[in-house]
């Protein structure tokens, strides 16, 4: 199945859970898309969805201005699952009742199951579910049967097998709900009859076909950053159009240890991709000499990056109207595309100012990851044979080590930080923590401190260990690294990295701190 065929539409009714629901649907191997609740029945029909899921939401269905959907959608004969607010909306719109008792139900609750077939096939009473609601459904839609209850939810699940309309008051998409993923799969596969065909292999086939159709026999350019998104995008496009693709890796001198070599090894030697490795460290250090203001650093790096990329593109004939590259690959992901109205994507992107496009070259964009969530990108990367160190690499900011070097960025200071960073990463990996941490790295402040080593006094830099957990980088918590790991890192930093005589641990969450230091 390609994504264009019968997507599951997840209607966003104002919950923070719409994305999570869409991901759970994908985990059940069915393609999903998030749509706004203002979508019309005609627009829904035009997408020929295989099923519809109505998300939760923070409002009460009887509140003025609470989100609702075009009632024409109910007449399309498409299987519908309502979750929490979505279930209440189904009850309100289709002849059931929702009442406000003033008593909500939040968190873990045990379900009393009265009908363990269909949606709740073989579920027993006592199954733990996760609740978050103020109002109660007291009667499901006309024609539906009540399937379960809880102390504060007389109708905690309902189903109408004839119309294929189902609702659950609880949240099957959250991990705390036992059998939640099973319920979603039951709805999609058994009740809506959707085949589980959205797999890594089918994603690759579909995206390869799309890239081929878009690009034809034109040439394509891709800026590799060393990060997972651009790497997977490049590998997919290469699979689609082979040597029509040229990749450019600009080594700014501010990359992580071995990053350039690993990109070269993977793309040039393993995938045989045409790779231009621009060694531009000198230009970046020259441009950054004497600059200490964080925003000025970002701007200088961003602009120089674009200028260098432009030079390479022009040398290849881009923008000349000849047979130079016409398409530019971008690793845009689905969460960037979703118009959630939450402003999250906009916030994250506002400082993703490095690797921006040279506007006057007039490329058309090729975005093979536009439909994918990050975990799918990683899975596709693995399927395509990209090595683990690229697929599972932690995020790294566009301006590179520069935003972790407080004060002036010099080749010497960049070298100290790169060596320190390699030690932090190595030990975090050795402790088996690398994948569960959002980021873990070293920071070089602009002070030096006195120390004593052997017989002598030292006056050298401290290194700050920064490690955070996070889901999306919008908020983050400082990671409680085990003390023995901190100790090993600290010992190695002081013994192995020239120029370092002290180690500190950053225990700031975001907010109030940011993840990076600049
Ligand atoms: P902060 O430091 O704002 O960072 O908490 C949030 C996430 O974004 C990354 N980051 C960047 N990524 N270009 C990027 O591509 C940038 O200029 C940039 N600045 C920060 C940071 O590593 C973290 O994951």
Q: Are the C-beta atoms of residues 96 and 137 closer than 8 Å to each other?
A: yes
Q: How many CA atoms lie within 13 A of 268 on its CB side?
A: 11
389 lines ligand 1 (CB under 6 A): no
Identify the residue whose C-alpha is closest to ligand 1 atom 10. 397
Q: What is the pLDDT of residues 111-122, one digit of tens each?
A: 999 999 999 999
What spacing in Å lies between the alpha carbon of 214 and ligand 1's midpoint? 31
For the chain, domain boundaries:
3-191, 200-391, 403-505
The pLDDT assigned to 454 comes to: 85
Q: Which of 226, 344, 347, 397 to mutate to test the pocket of ligand 1 (most atoms within 8 A of CB)?
A: 397
In terms of CATH, what superfamily is 200-391?
Answer: HUPs (3.40.50.620)
Q: Which atom of ligand 1 is nearest to the CA of 470?
A: 24
254 lines ligand 1 (CB under 6 A): no
Q: What is the pLDDT of residues 182-196, one digit of tens each?
A: 999 999 999 999 999
What spacing in Å lies between the alpha carbon of 396 and ligand 1's midpoint? 7
395 lines ligand 1 (CB under 6 A): yes
pLDDT band at 350 (very low <50, low <70, confident <90, very high): very low
Q: Are the C-beta atoms of residues 404 and 364 closer than 8 Å to each other?
A: no
229 lines ligand 1 (CB under 6 A): no
pLDDT band at 79 (very low <50, low <70, confident <90, very high): very high
pLDDT at 220 > cutoff 50: yes
What spacing in Å lies between the alpha carbon of 264 and ligand 1's midpoint? 24
Q: What is the pLDDT of residues 263-314, one digit of tens each?
A: 999 999 999 999 999 999 999 999 999 999 999 999 999 999 999 999 999 9
Q: Are the C-beta atoms of residues 123 and 116 closer than 8 Å to each other?
A: yes
Q: pLDDT > 90: what percent of the chain? A: 88
Q: What is the pLDDT of residues 82-116, one digit of tens each?
A: 999 999 999 999 999 999 988 889 999 999 999 99
**One fold for 3-191 and 403-505:** no
pLDDT, mean over the chain? 93
Residue 171 appears among annotated catalytic residues: yes
Q: Pull the structure tokens for residue 308.
A: 């260098």
Entry pTM: 0.89
Q: What is the pLDDT of residues 134-189, one digit of tens each?
A: 999 999 999 999 999 999 999 999 999 999 999 999 999 999 999 999 999 999 99
Q: What is the pLDDT of residues 31-78, one digit of tens each?
A: 999 999 999 999 999 999 999 999 999 899 999 999 999 999 999 999
Q: What is the CATH number of domain 3-191?
A: 3.40.50.880
- Rounded to 10 deg, the angle between the 281-288 and 411-430 helix axes is 120
Q: Are the C-beta atoms of residues 172 and 181 closer than 8 Å to each other?
A: yes
398 lines ligand 1 (CB under 6 A): yes
Q: What is the pLDDT of residues 451-485, one digit of tens each?
A: 998 889 999 999 999 999 998 888 999 999 999 99
Q: What is the CATH number of domain 403-505?
A: 3.30.300.10
Q: Are the C-beta atoms of residues 119 and 166 closer than 8 Å to each other?
A: yes
Q: 6, 133, 171, 238: which is the annotated catalytic residue?
A: 171
């Amino acid at each position: 199945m390609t994504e264009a065929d019968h997507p599951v539409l997840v209607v966003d009714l104002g919950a923070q859970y719409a994305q999570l629901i869409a991901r759970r649907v994908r985990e059940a191997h069915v393609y999903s898309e998030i749509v706004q609740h203002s979508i019309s029945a005609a627009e829904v029909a035009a997408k020929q969805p295989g099923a519809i899921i109505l998300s939760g939401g923070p409002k009460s269905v009887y509140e003025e201005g609470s989100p609702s959907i075009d009632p024409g959608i109910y007449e399309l004969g498409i299987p519908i699952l309502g979750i929490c607010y979505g279930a209440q909306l189904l009850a309100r719109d289709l002849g059931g009742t929702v009442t406000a008792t003033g008593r909500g139900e939040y968190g873990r609750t045990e379900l009393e199951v009265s009908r363990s077939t269909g949606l709740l096939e073989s579920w027993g009473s006592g199954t733990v579910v996760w609740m978050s609601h103020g109002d109660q459904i007291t009667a499901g839609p006309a024609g539906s049967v009540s399937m379960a209850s809880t102390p504060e939810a007389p109708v905690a699940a309902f189903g109408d097998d004839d119309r294929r309309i189902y609702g659950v008051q609880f949240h099957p998409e959250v991990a705390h709900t036992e059998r939640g993923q099973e319920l979603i799969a039951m709805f999609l596969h058994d009740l809506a009859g959707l085949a589980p065909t959205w797999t890594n292999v089918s994603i690759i086939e579909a995206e390869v076909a799309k890239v081929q159709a878009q690009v034809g026999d034109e040439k394509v350019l891709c800026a590799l950053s060393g990060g997972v998104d651009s790497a997977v995008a490049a590998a997919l496009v290469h699979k689609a159009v082979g040597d029509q693709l040229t990749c450019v890796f600009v080594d700014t001198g501010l990359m992580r240890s071995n990053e350039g070599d690993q990109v070269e090894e993977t793309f040039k030697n393993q995938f045989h991709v045409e790779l231009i490795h621009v060694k531009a460290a000198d230009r970046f250090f020259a441009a950054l000499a004497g600059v200490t203001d964080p925003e000025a650093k970002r701007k200088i790096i961003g602009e120089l990056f674009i200028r260098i990329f432009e030079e390479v593109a022009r040398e290849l004939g881009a923008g000349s109207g000849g047979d130079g590259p016409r398409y530019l690959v971008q690793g845009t992901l689905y969460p960037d595309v979703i118009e959630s109205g939450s402003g999250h994507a906009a916030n994250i992107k506002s400082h993703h100012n490095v690797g921006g496009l040279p506007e006057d070259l007039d490329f058309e964009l090729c975005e093979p990851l536009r439909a994918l969530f990050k975990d799918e990108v990683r899975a596709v990367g693995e399927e395509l044979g990209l090595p683990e160190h690229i697929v599972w690499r932690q995020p790294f900011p566009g301006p590179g080590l520069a935003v972790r070097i407080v004060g002036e960025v010099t080749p010497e200071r960049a070298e100290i930080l790169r060596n320190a960073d390699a030690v932090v990463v190595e030990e975090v990996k050795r402790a088996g923590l690398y994948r569960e941490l959002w980021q873990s790295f070293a920071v070089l402040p602009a002070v030096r401190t006195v120390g004593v080593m052997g017989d002598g006094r030292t006056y050298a830099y401290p290194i700050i260990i920064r490690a955070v957990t996070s889901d999306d980088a919008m908020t983050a918590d400082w990671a409680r690294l085990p003390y023995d790991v901190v100790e090993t890192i600290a010992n190695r930093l002081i013994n192995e990295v020239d120029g370092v005589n002290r180690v500190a641990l950053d225990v700031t969450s975001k907010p109030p701190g940011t993840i990076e230091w600049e």
